[in-house]
Amino acid sequence: MAEKIYKKIDEIDFSMQSPDFIKETSSAKIVTAELYEREGYPVDGGLMDVRLGVIDPGLRCKTCGGKLKECMGHFGHIELARPVIHINYAVHAYNAMRSTCNECYRVKLNQVKLDGYAEKIKFAQKLGDYDRVRKLSKEVLTKSRLIKKCPHCKAKQDAVKIEKPTTYNQGEHRVNPIQVRERLEKISNEDTILLGLNPKTSRPEWMVMSILPIPPVTMRPSITLESGERSEDDLTHKLGDIVRINQRLFENINAGAPEMIIEDLWDLLQYHITTYLDNSVSSVPPARHRSGQALKTLTERIKSKEGRFRNNLAGKRVNYAARTVISPDPCIGFNDVGIPESVARELTIPERVTEWNKEWLLKLIKNGPTNYPGANYVIWPDGKKKKITEETIEQILEELQHGFKVERHLINGDQALFNRQPSLHRMSLMCHRVKVLPGRSFRMNPSVCNPYNADFDGDEMNLHVPQTEEARAEAEVLMEVQTQLITPKNGYNIIGCVEDSITGCYLLTHTKEMGKIEAIDLLTSIGIDNVKFSKEKVSGAEVFSTVLPDDFNFIRKNKHGETTVRVKNGNLEHGIIDKNTIGENNGELIREFYRKYGQDRTIKLLGNIFQLGIQILLKKGFSTGVADTDIPKEAVKKIDNKVHKAYGKLEEHIEAFKKRKIEVLPGKTELETLEIRAMEILNKTRTEIGDYITELVGEGNPTLTMAQSGAKGNVLNFTQMTGCIGQQALGGKRITRGYRGRTLSSFKKGDLGPEARGFVKNTFKRGITPTEFFFHAMTGRDSLMDTALRTPKSGYLYRRLANALQDLKIEYDRTVRNATKDIIQFQYGDDSIDVSKSEGGTINVVNAIHDVLGENV
């Protein structure tokens, strides 16, 4: 397959184009702005000359004889009636003129200095240190340009001024391009080097153009509109203007027209050539279409986001891809992706016809492109590709043989790459198995939202179908969902149970007793049907244990060293399953699975646990509502008392402060101390209220259950709905902004009480007072602004980091090196720890020992 490489580029030299080179490579001299004759055939010597290449089918190129697509086009040229400054070299020509004498054309430095610089530049060039060369020639330019008397011929020098973009003046007089060219011509080769140019490849006078290359027509093809009219490319339009003005200038010069008219035409020619090269020069009004739209000329084709580099080379559009809205489906596996039939009909996989699949493929071809599952194209061994239609189907069915390829529709089980932008880490593009489903959206298991950072508020995702066996194998081995369970960021699992499944498992392991039938029914619904219970009543832990492997051992300890969860020989002996064991990001049970059984088995076990959790909620029924936050009247009173107690305590402090008797904290003023005390008291009160409510409501409250299992929300959210919203803080302090000495005009000046400083004692359910509402809105707006400003900033920061670090890798000697093998770090992370095999950056030594000794926990 691979073509032989017979020429290799090892050096590229960027230089100016010489007029001789332009003439040499030109295959046609363009003399007229006309494009086509009356019959529609290109005019000889016109801009669409057939010698410049062909864009019409049927025509042959007059230069190389090639047909459309065979001939890649040839350059032409026009001779300019008067020379014109090249806009991109205008500054350089200006620098060259400023630094040279206007009579003897030498660089205005004495011979000793010139020799010195020449020596230095030669030396730097020999070393290949082009930064140094650039620096030196820049020094020559800055030192020589302000000299008012030539050190060689002693001539007085008037300063040359540039009038943007392309006009030069010296003293009172204008220096026209002819004179510019003459002056640049007379600069010696030795001096050219000092100015920073290589005279062998770039003579300074080439910065003024006397001849203009015309790009081949293949570079600026015209398009035929529906009406049969031809619409020319922007470049052709611009070149037409140039040729037209150039011809008029010729005629006027030959006819001996007055200097005024010639100058005007000359300026116009300069304008046209400037905009032809770059239509976004700041001081030149951009050339426009008749519709008023600016023309896209040479520079615009290359530059910026829509230019050749960023749009066509760095990023390309691809085939075999689809994009649509995503929606959740907890009933499909983690590595499944639900695909609408309409998408499956459009995306295809080329399948080679063999002895074993011929019949099946014939059936698909018979179904055609409209009936799913079918096929869209058939490819002959010689590369001919035919669409399956009613006309062609007969012939295809007859001719189909081994070695043909059939582009068949996607079917269940095919590999597909699933991606969500911004693709910030490797988990943003994972391989899923296709599952064709009704509907029009991509379906995914809610557990894989986390790696993609997706939600279902209208997010869209992309799907790509690998087309070769190699690509599919690679996708499966390197990037299928189960290979990405552990994130390289910290070694924690990025995929785990979410929301309902956590709540479900939490409730299950809380269940002391359930009927045998009920338990078996539950397990059957997730596909486990080989379980036997000897007792009539089983506990939730026993039911949960059935999804665990028999040889599984696991102990989880909390911060204080107490065992919270214990699994022995596949039996959950003690503890509750919650977010810390099966959740995403540091679900320790999942990590233990992964360590012990590897990725494929882990994803299966995790899938079972996930389904189990959901089924429990389905069977049991689980919902949350406003009634969750109902508490008895006495409780409300008690909470009120707590708040008032805190008020009283704070009042004491305020009194002490006013009498200047407050106990000052080290390094703080009295007021600061008071504020800190106030925050302490009020925040403590809210925590107390939270604890009180948690105790009061007890088990069985769905909202609290979700908070405690870690599925969604936290106790603070519940407290704010039920007991007390609490102190509103701006920048970690109580609210002090607003009017002079007070936050709102409804308070007395100097009021330091809780209510005047943003304490909200009401709850979301009960409703809050206008002043409380205002304070709450203040903190709300503050955090909103914070996120709104931080997101794009941190996104851009990350992008720059990722781009700067993209070529760094860890070598075998554990050094971090870049693409040129420069050392960035002598030992990766100073400790050589592979973070993806660690737990939050540190190695679990106990586990490592057990792994080596083969012992169980």
Partner 1 sequence: MAEKVKPTTINHALVPKQVVCDKEEVSRLLSKYNIRKDQLPKVSIKDPSIQVLELEPGDIIKISRSSQTEPSSLFYRVVV
Binding site for partner 1 (CB under 8 A): 813, 815, 820-824, 826-827, 829-831, 833, 841
Q: Do 85 and 179 contact (CB within 8 A), yes or no?
A: no
Closer residue to partner 1 in complex, CB, 748/821 = 821
Q: Where does 465-548 show beta strands of DSSP type E?
A: 514-515, 537-538
Q: How far is the CB of 119 from partner 1 (least distance, A)?
A: 21
Q: How far is the CB of 519 from partner 1 (least distance, A)?
A: 48
Closer residue to partner 1 in complex, CB, 325/824 = 824
Q: How far is the CB of 839 from partner 1 (least distance, A)?
A: 14
Q: Do 504 and 578 contact (CB within 8 A), yes or no?
A: no
CA neighbor of 410 nearest in space, from 327, 346, 333: 346
Separation of alpha carbons 723 and 497, rounded Å: 30
Closer residue to partner 1 in complex, CB, 659/821 = 821
Q: How far is the CB of 837 from partner 1 (least distance, A)?
A: 15
List, in sequence order, every residue forming a beta bridge with 77; answer none if it has no partner.
29, 213
Closer residue to partner 1 in complex, CB, 795/841 = 841
Which SS3 state, helix, strand or coil, does residue 662 take? coil
- The full length of the chain comes to 857
Phi and psi at residue 352, in whole multiples of 5°?
-75, 135
Which tokens sit at 611?
A: 């389904």
Name the residue type at position 594. Answer: Y
Write the DSSP assignment of 85-126 as a string of letters. Answer: E-GGGHHHHHHHHHHB-TTT--BSS-HHHHHHHHHHHHHHHH
Name the residue type at position 485. Answer: L
Q: How far is the CB of 743 from partner 1 (least distance, A)?
A: 42
Q: How far is the CB of 830 from partner 1 (least distance, A)?
A: 4
Q: Which helix (H) or strand (E) holds 184?
A: helix 177-185
Separation of alpha carbons 345 and 339, rounded Å: 10
Q: Do 222 and 230 contact (CB within 8 A), yes or no?
A: yes
DSSP state of 286: P
Closer residue to partner 1 in complex, CB, 813/855 = 813
Q: How far is the CB of 807 from partner 1 (least distance, A)?
A: 14
Burial class, 648, CB count within 10 angstroms (exposed 0-12 / middle 13-18 / buried 19+): exposed
Separation of alpha carbons 614 and 498, rounded Å: 10
Closer residue to partner 1 in complex, CB, 68/833 = 833
Separation of alpha carbons 502 and 712, rounded Å: 9
Closer residue to partner 1 in complex, CB, 478/823 = 823
Separation of alpha carbons 843 and 845, rounded Å: 6
Closer residue to partner 1 in complex, CB, 308/814 = 814
Q: How far is the CB of 809 from partner 1 (least distance, A)?
A: 15
Name the residue type at position 61. Answer: C
Closer residue to partner 1 in complex, CB, 355/830 = 830
Closer residue to partner 1 in complex, CB, 390/830 = 830
Q: How far is the CB of 814 from partner 1 (least distance, A)?
A: 10
Which SS3 state, helix, strand or coil, does residue 702 take? helix
Q: How far is the CB of 826 from partner 1 (least distance, A)?
A: 6
Q: How far is the CB of 438 from partner 1 (least distance, A)?
A: 52
Q: How far is the CB of 486 from partner 1 (least distance, A)?
A: 19
Separation of alpha carbons 189 and 200, rounded Å: 8
Task: Categorise residue 299: left if φ over 0, alpha if ψ from -120 to 50, beta otherwise.
Answer: alpha
Q: How far is the CB of 123 from partner 1 (least distance, A)?
A: 17
Residue holding tokens 């101390």? 673
Which SS3 state, helix, strand or coil, does residue 742 take? strand
Residue holding tokens 């020989």? 569
Q: How far is the CB of 661 from partner 1 (least distance, A)?
A: 40
Closer residue to partner 1 in complex, CB, 331/823 = 823
C-alpha dist (Å) from residue 15 to 18, 21, 199, 203, 214: 9, 12, 10, 9, 18
Separation of alpha carbons 722 and 766, rounded Å: 8
Closer residue to partner 1 in complex, CB, 746/827 = 827
Which tokens sit at 157?
A: 């020098």
* Widest CA span in the chain: 117
Pairing of strands 442-444, 321-328: parallel
Q: For the packed helices 130-144 and 90-99, what is the interaxial angle rounded to 10 degrees?
A: 60
Q: Where does 476-553 show beta strands of DSSP type E?
A: 514-515, 537-538
Closer residue to partner 1 in complex, CB, 777/805 = 805
Cis previous bond, 422, omega within 30: yes
Closer residue to partner 1 in complex, CB, 302/823 = 823
Closer residue to partner 1 in complex, CB, 172/822 = 822
In sequence order, which residues have a C-beta less than 8 Å from that of residue 462 and are 6 or more positions away? 321, 322, 323, 418, 419, 420, 421
Q: How far is the CB of 8 from partner 1 (least distance, A)?
A: 25
Q: Do 235 and 298 contact (CB within 8 A), yes or no?
A: yes
The CA-based angle 556-557-561, given to 5 degrees, is 165
Closer residue to partner 1 in complex, CB, 661/821 = 821
Q: How far is the CB of 815 from partner 1 (least distance, A)?
A: 6
Q: How far is the CB of 808 from partner 1 (least distance, A)?
A: 13
Closer residue to partner 1 in complex, CB, 135/850 = 135
Closer residue to partner 1 in complex, CB, 620/817 = 817
Q: How far is the CB of 405 from partner 1 (least distance, A)?
A: 48
Name the residue type at position 217. Answer: V
